[in-house]
Amino acid sequence: MSIIEETSPIRLLLVDDNKHDRIAFRRSLERAKTTYNIIEFSHAEEALDYIHRNPSSSDLLVSDQKLPGMSGLELCRLILTYGIDMPLIIITGAGTENLAVEALKAGVSDYIIKDSAGRYLQLLPLVLLDVVQKHREYLLRRRTEAQLEESEKKYRSLYESSRDGFVRIDLKGNILEFNSSFTEMLCYSGQELLNKKIQELSPPMEQPLEKKLLQSEDFLGRGYSGYYEKEFIKKNGSSLLTELRYYLLRDDNGLPEGMWSFVRDINRERTIKQELEDRNILIEEILDKSPIGIAVHSIQKGNIEYLNTTFKDIFAMGESKPDTLRDICKQTLFTGKHAEEIKRILLSPAQYLPCLPKHWQEIQLTSNSQKEKIINISYIPLANN
């Protein structure tokens, strides 16, 4: 059965071998405010065959208990056995209360006792509508629960697979929830963390500052803090530098009830950053002490970005640093076989620098010191420069 709109006709299957009772049944529902689309059967086998061929086309089945061949209760049991999700109602005669109880135990939604005076027809619309409405609510609840379960699975997967730690605390700092990354960061077991306050994991000097931050009007008004660095104390006593942001949790009345945060370990980031800085210093030191003069010129910016000591000595620059290759040409006299070619290229706009010879070219130059030198010059393109 699918969840139907309030205004949609209720698709009803009626199983009764008595034609007059079926007519009375129809007339009773015609007086109701709800619209019904009724399909009639005189035998349970016919109804079962229809349901097999159209398992999702009906909202409700009402069957008389006493039928030729298969009984109404047997029909309902088969429908339930086949897993067809549809509310079922049995109509029984007076004096068959035990049968009605048996039907309810079997999974039938409700039963109606047929009296000879036909008073049951007055109750019929109310009973049917109540059964359909309850089943509709059940399906809606089940679908909502399925969606919540799926959402929970996605959240839990993200929550547990995140490399960042997650922690949730109450307003007193009691740790209520966390993911495996948080326990691994601090080297505590889950049970150990549940017995601690977040304050116990922080250095004493940080606690007053953090308390002031989390009680500030800015935090309470916005519902979240800015990103800030926080030191945690690991189980072995060592410190862990992290970056985090707290988010405020509120109860149904809008009152603060706790906080949660993703916690990022920045110890490793700091270590990598320091290693890169140390490596760059080492590379620059190696380049500066190289016996080959090196100049790095940016094609995009059109200026000199680096000169090593050997290059400055060759061109007798002293402590001065020219901004462009054009400046070098102004203070240097190039002579020799390739001098004019190289000077022309050096004086060209920056985008033509790739035209410099890729192999070594010998030229003679006279720098500001008026000292003549014979040098080899070559151009090596660098990525993104």
Least confident of 147-151, 263-267, 370-374: 370-374
Give the residue from 125, 152, 179 where a domain finishes: 152
Whether residue 140 sits in one domain with residue 44: yes
Is residue 5's pLDDT more than 50? no
Query: Most confidently modeled of 32-36, 185-189, 213-217?
Result: 185-189
What is the rounded average pLDDT of the residues 99-118? 86
Is residue 373's pLDDT more than 70? no
Per DSSP (E only), the strands in 148-201 are: 165-170, 175-178
Q: Which residue has the higher pLDDT, 363 or 293?
A: 293
Is residue 48's pLDDT more than 90? yes
Whether residue 209 sits in one domain with residue 94: no
How many domains would you assign to the chain?
3
- What CA–CA distance (Å, rounded) separates 310 from 295? 10
- Scan for tokens 């109701």, then name that residue: 32
CA distances from 210 to 86, 167, 213, 228, 257 (A): 58, 16, 5, 10, 17
Whether residue 54 sits in one domain with residue 17: yes
Any domain includes 279: no
Give tens-digit pLDDT for 265-286.
888 777 888 888 888 888 888 8
- Name which of 153, 104, 131 is nearest 139 in CA terms: 131
What is the rounded average pLDDT of the residues 228-254? 91
Any domain includes 282: no
- Scan for tokens 């039938």, then name that residue: 108
The one-character DSSP state at 197 is B
Give the residue from 236, 270, 304 where a domain finishes: 270
What is the rounded average pLDDT of the residues 3-15? 75
Predicted local confidence at residue 2, as pLDDT: 42
What is the rounded average pLDDT of the residues 349-358? 54
Predicted local confidence at residue 74, as pLDDT: 94
Whether residue 167 sits in one domain with residue 148: no
Predicted local confidence at residue 212, as pLDDT: 82
- What CA–CA distance (Å, rounded) separates 81 from 13? 18
- What CA–CA distance (Å, rounded) separates 308 from 333? 21
Predicted local confidence at residue 288, as pLDDT: 83
Q: What is the mean pLDDT of the chain?
A: 82
Any domain includes 1: no
Angle between helices 72-81 and 97-106 (to 10 degrees): 10
Any domain includes 158: no
Predicted local confidence at residue 164, as pLDDT: 86
Q: What is the CATH number of the domain that holds 110?
A: 3.40.50.2300
Confidence band of 226 (pLDDT split at 50, 70, 90): confident
Confidence band of 366 (pLDDT split at 50, 70, 90): low
Query: Most confidently modeled of 98-107, 242-251, 348-357, 364-373?
Result: 242-251
Whether residue 188 sits in one domain with residue 143: no
Q: CB neighbours (10 Å) of residue 208?
A: 9
Whether residue 192 sits in one domain with residue 76: no
Least confident of 9-13, 95-99, 176-180: 95-99
Q: What is the CATH number of the domain that holds 208?
A: 3.30.450.20
Predicted local confidence at residue 44, as pLDDT: 95
Whether residue 146 sits in one domain with residue 20: yes
- What CA–CA distance (Å, rounded) separates 281 from 309? 15
Domain span at 368: 289-377
Give the residue from 102, 128, 152 where a domain finishes: 152
Predicted local confidence at residue 293, as pLDDT: 81
- Name which of 200, 177, 201, 180 is nearest 189 in CA terms: 180
Strand, coil or helix: what is 264?
A: strand
Predicted local confidence at residue 18, as pLDDT: 92
- What CA–CA distance (Å, rounded) separates 215 from 169? 14
Whether residue 98 sits in one domain with residue 231: no
Q: Which residue has the higher pLDDT, 361 or 208?
A: 208
Q: Which residue has the higher pLDDT, 346 or 33?
A: 33
Is residue 351's pLDDT more than 60? no
Is residue 385's pLDDT more than 50? no
What is the rounded average pLDDT of the residues 330-355? 62
Any domain includes 280: no
pTM for the whole structure: 0.45
Any domain includes 296: yes
Give tens-digit pLDDT for 69-100.
999 999 999 999 988 889 999 998 876 778 88
The edge-to-edge listing of strands for the beta sheet with 361-366 is 333-335, 361-366, 372-377
Whether residue 104 sits in one domain with residue 50: yes
Predicted local confidence at residue 73, as pLDDT: 93
Any domain includes 55: yes
Q: Partners of 361 in the beta sheet?
A: 377
Whether residue 316 sits in one domain with residue 242: no
Whether residue 330 sits in one domain with residue 219: no
Any domain includes 3: no
Whether residue 237 sits in one domain with residue 127: no
